[in-house]
């Protein structure tokens, strides 16, 4: 059933772009919401299709039509589609700089009026940090759909063997102390994927958030206080260099991919990994025996704070996705997105697809304990910072990836690294 729905969505999309479907297949509907997505998991598409049918049943005359484009094709074709008559009504967005750039082209319409209708019914049920993360120039340009969180995951048995108490790792110095203790016990502290570079940028990004805080980060993006060359970002690099000097990663980490790092953690060859919310599943599939660590042997703790710096533990770093609405979309599009963001539907999505929901109170529907812990943490977050290659743009993101590897390996001075980021981002600001 799920596979059939998935294949049908692909077939319908192909026909739609050939020009024949929209005129012939939707004539009976008064209003057609064309929903463009990049999802490839059949079970998720099956849930979405059912949600669309439920909405149609409650809104006679409205048709919700799923349209699929593969990730890279989506990114390549979307700019042209947005300026054509074939523009979708709503489409998937990773937020950040790309969404911000789209917002100034006139191709989209903001969602503030819909969010604030009926006494702010939609806005009030949605996590404020998720809305803020998709807001530019005071307007909301996409409806939040799901969130993500980068956290430390650890092997409980290895921590116990070394005598490390994860609950006591609250500050950066606590983490450095834990790394030393694990090494003294003959245990590799952290699994790292230096070859892919981006796995190590999590460290610099989080440290920059902790040192600058939300206001300092916003000022850097605005070019104030020396931008990303300012003191907080230099300090972030200095902290990362401190970690690198302890040689915390597995041997050969600079040549290791992300999957290699997951395997090292899943095999029990490293005690920690700084990773995505789906780590319990991905460490298992990448481990040598394809079983990895059972959930009850994995613990989680948030990225530590830096003593004396403004960043707090509830300031989160991770993905933030949403649905943007195009300027000529039918008026029912916002109503459908309000329905998608409702507590009832968010609970359904959390239960069936294990997403990190964005509706207040929906996290209770996440069943897997470690995922539920993440969902609960996201529900309490004070600031959600999107991945930097999205928020600051891919060019700046690539620089952050590069300098993170260079700093942790001892090949670059933190001040020079911060200046490189500022130089790259200043070009994006122009």
Rounded to the nearest 10 degrees, what angle do helices 343-353 and 42-58 cross at? 160
Domain extent, residue 272, equals 151-317+392-429
Q: List, in order, residues 6 or more apart from 117 with CB less than 8 Å away.
A: none
Do both 308 and 418 map to the same domain? Answer: yes
Please report the pLDDT score of residue 429 as a whole number: 77
CB 366 within 8 A of CB 372: yes
Q: Residues 131, 114: one domain? A: yes
Regarding whether 212 and 275 lie in a shared domain, the answer is yes
Q: Do 120 and 241 sit in the same domain of this protein?
A: no
The answer to whether the CB of 151 falls within 8 A of the CB of 166 is: no
How does residue 3 score in pLDDT terms, banded at 50, 70 and 90? very low
How would you list the strands of the sheet with 272-275, edge to edge? 272-275, 151-155, 298-301
Contact 193, 260 (CB under 8 A): yes
Which residue's entry shows tokens 């048995």? 157
Do the beta carbons of residue 290 and residue 284 sit within 8 Å? yes
- Provide the pLDDT for residue 210: 98
Q: Return the minimum-mean-pLDDT range out of 235-249, 322-336, 380-394, 395-409.
A: 380-394
Looking at residues 379-383, what average pLDDT do you find? 93
Measured CA distances, 157 to 152, 161, 270, 294, 410 (Å): 15, 6, 11, 11, 31
pLDDT at 29: 67
40 shares its domain with 54: yes
Whether 20 shows a pLDDT value over 60: the answer reads no
Instruction: Give tens-digit pLDDT for 44-54.
Output: 999 999 999 99
Q: What is the mean pLDDT of residues 145-155?
A: 97
pLDDT tens digits along 193-230: 999 999 999 999 999 999 999 999 999 999 999 999 99
Q: Is residue 237 domain-shared with residue 309, that is, in the same domain? A: yes
Q: Which residues contact 90 (CB under 8 A, 6 or more apart)?
A: 33, 34, 35, 36, 323, 324, 325, 326, 329, 333, 336, 337
CA distance 107 to 33: 16
pLDDT digits (tens, 9 = 90+) for 347-362: 999 999 989 999 999 9
Residue 272 and residue 172 in one domain: yes
Query: If you average pLDDT over residues 160-177, what whole number do you get?
Result: 98
Residue 1: which of 42, 51, 31 has the closest Cα? 42
Instruction: Compute the average pLDDT of residues 154-171.
Output: 98
d(CA 409, CA 241): 8
Torsions phi, psi for 170 (to 5 deg): -115, -30
Give tens-digit pLDDT for 311-360: 999 999 999 999 999 999 999 999 999 999 999 999 999 999 989 999 99
Average confidence score pLDDT of the chain? 92
Q: Identify each DSSP E strand in 267-319 by its residue range.
A: 272-275, 298-301, 315-317
Mean local confidence (pLDDT), 97-116: 95
Provide the 8-state DSSP code for 271: S
Residues 199, 85, single domain; the answer is: no
15 pLDDT band (50/70/90 cuts)? very low
CB-count exposure of residue 320 (10 Å: 0-12, 13-18, 19+) = buried
In the predicted structure, residue 253 carries a pLDDT above the cut 80: yes
Domain count along the chain = 2
d(CA 232, CA 134): 25
Looking at the fold, whether 354 and 415 belong to one and the same domain comes out as no
By C-alpha distance, which of 106, 115, 105 is closest to 143?
115
- For residues 52 and 143, membership in a common domain is answered with yes
CB-CB contact of 36 with 87 (8 Å) = no
Whether 352 and 409 share a structural domain: no
Q: What percent of the chain has pLDDT over 90?
A: 89
In the predicted model, is pLDDT for residue 294 greater than 70? Answer: yes
pLDDT number for residue 18: 36
Mean pLDDT of 290-300: 97
Q: Which whole-number Å values give the CA distances from 393 to 94, 198, 398, 420, 424, in the listed order?
A: 11, 14, 9, 15, 10
The per-residue pLDDT for 397 is 94
* Same domain, yes or no: 20 and 100: yes
Residue 230 belongs to a domain with what CATH number? Answer: 3.40.190.10
CA 321 – CA 403 distance, rounded (Å): 26
How much is the pLDDT for 100? 93
């Amino acid at each position: 059933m799920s596979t059939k729905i998935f294949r049908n969505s692909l077939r319908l999309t192909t026909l739609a772009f050939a020009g024949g479907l929209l005129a012939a297949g939707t004539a009976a509907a008064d209003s057609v919401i064309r929903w463009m997505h990049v999802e490839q998991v059949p079970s998720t598409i099956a849930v979405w299709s059912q949600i669309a049918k439920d909405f149609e049943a409650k809104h006679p005359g409205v048709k919700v039509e799923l349209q699929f484009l593969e990730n890279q094709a989506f990114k390549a074709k979307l700019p042209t589609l947005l300026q054509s008559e074939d523009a979708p009504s709503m489409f998937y967005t990773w937020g950040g700089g790309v969404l911000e750039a789209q917002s100034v082209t006139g191709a989209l319409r903001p969602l503030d009026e819909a969010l604030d209708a009926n006494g702010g019914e939609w806005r009030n049920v949605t996590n404020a940090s998720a809305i803020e993360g998709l807001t530019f120039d005071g307007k909301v340009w996409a409806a939040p759909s799901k969130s993500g969180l980068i956290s430390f995951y650890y092997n409980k048995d290895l921590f116990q063997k070394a005598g490390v108490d994860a609950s006591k790792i609250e500050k950066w110095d606590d983490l450095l102390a834990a790394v030393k203790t694990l090494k003294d016990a003959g245990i590799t502290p952290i699994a790292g994927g230096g070859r892919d570079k981006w796995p190590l940028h999590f460290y610099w990004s989080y440290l920059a958030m902790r040192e600058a805080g939300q206001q300092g980060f916003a000022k850097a993006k605005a070019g104030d206080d020396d931008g990303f060359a300012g003191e907080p970002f230099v300090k972030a690099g200095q902290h990362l260099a401190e970690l690198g000097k302890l040689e915390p990663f597995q041997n050969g980490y600079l040549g290791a991919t992300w999957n290699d790092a997951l395997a090292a953690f899943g095999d029990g060859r490293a005690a920690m990994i700084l990773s995505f919310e789906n780590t319990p599943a991905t460490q298992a599939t990448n481990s040598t025996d394809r079983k990895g660590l059972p959930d009850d042997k994995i613990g989680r703790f948030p990225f530590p704070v830096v003593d004396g710096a403004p960043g707090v533990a509830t300031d989160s770093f991770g993905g933030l996705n949403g649905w943007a609405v195009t300027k000529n979309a039918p008026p029912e599009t916002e109503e459908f997105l309000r329905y998608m963001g409702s507590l009832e539907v968010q609970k359904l999505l959390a239960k069936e697809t294990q997403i990190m929901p964005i509706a207040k109170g929906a996290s209770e529907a996440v069943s897997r304990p470690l995922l539920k812990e993440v969902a609960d943490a996201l529900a309490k977050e004070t600031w959600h910072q999107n991945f930097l290659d999205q928020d600051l743009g891919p060019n700046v993101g690539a620089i952050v990836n590069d300098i993170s590897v260079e700093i942790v390996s001892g090949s670059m001075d933190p001040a020079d690294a911060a200046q490189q980021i500022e130089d790259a981002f200043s070009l994006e600001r122009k």
